Amino acid sequence: GGEIFNHLAKGFSNGVVMFVSKMLGFLVVYNFKASIDVFGEWAVYGFFAMICFFGIVFSYFFLPETKGLTLQQIERSLQDGWFQQHRTKLVTSRGMEAGLGAC
| pLDDT band, very low/low/confident/very high, at 99 (cuts 50, 70, 90) | very low
pLDDT at 24 over 70: yes
Note the pTM of the prediction, 2 decimals: 0.55
pLDDT at 83 over 80: no
Distance CA 100, CA 88 (A): 9
Reference 86, options 69, 61, 54, 103; nearest CA is 61
Length of the chain: 103
| pLDDT band, very low/low/confident/very high, at 73 (cuts 50, 70, 90) | confident
Specify the DSSP class assigned to residue 99.
G
Contact criterion met (CB below 8 Å) for 24 and 16: no
Higher pLDDT, 82 or 101: 82
Angle at 103 between CA 21 and CA 82, to 5 degrees: 65
Q: What is the mean pLDDT of residues 11-31?
A: 92
